Amino acid sequence: MFDETTDMTEKAGQLQNLLAAAVKEDTSDIFLIPGMPISFKVHGNIRPVDDNKISRRKWISISKPSTPWLAAGA
C-alpha cells in the first residue's frame, strides 16, 4: 500500500488512498504497527489490507506529519 517514496506529495496521496479505502470498507480503526501489515478493523474483525509488512522507517514516514514529536526521536 505504501512505497518507500521520499516525496511528501506522493506520501500524502498514499495516505489519502488508504483513508479512502478505509471509508469504502466501513472501517472503524486503522492499525499501523511496525513489523505487521497495515490492517483495518471492520465490524469488529481485524484484517490486513495486504500482505506487506510495514517497516519502522515506513511507519515513521507515514506518521510523522500527524505526530511532530517523532521528528525529534527519529
Count how many residues are written for the chain. 74
Q: 14-25 pLDDT, tens per residue?
A: 778 888 999 999
Instruction: Give the Cα separation of 20 and 71 in Å (integer).
Output: 26
Task: Give the residue extent of every domain in the chain.
Answer: 27-69
Asked if pLDDT for residue 60 goes beyond 60, the answer is: yes
Percent of the chain with pLDDT over 70: 72
Please name the helix (run of DSSP H) or strand (run of DSSP E) that holds residue 40, with its range, or none.
strand 37-42
Adjacent-strand bridge partners of 30: 40
More confident residue, 8 or 48: 48
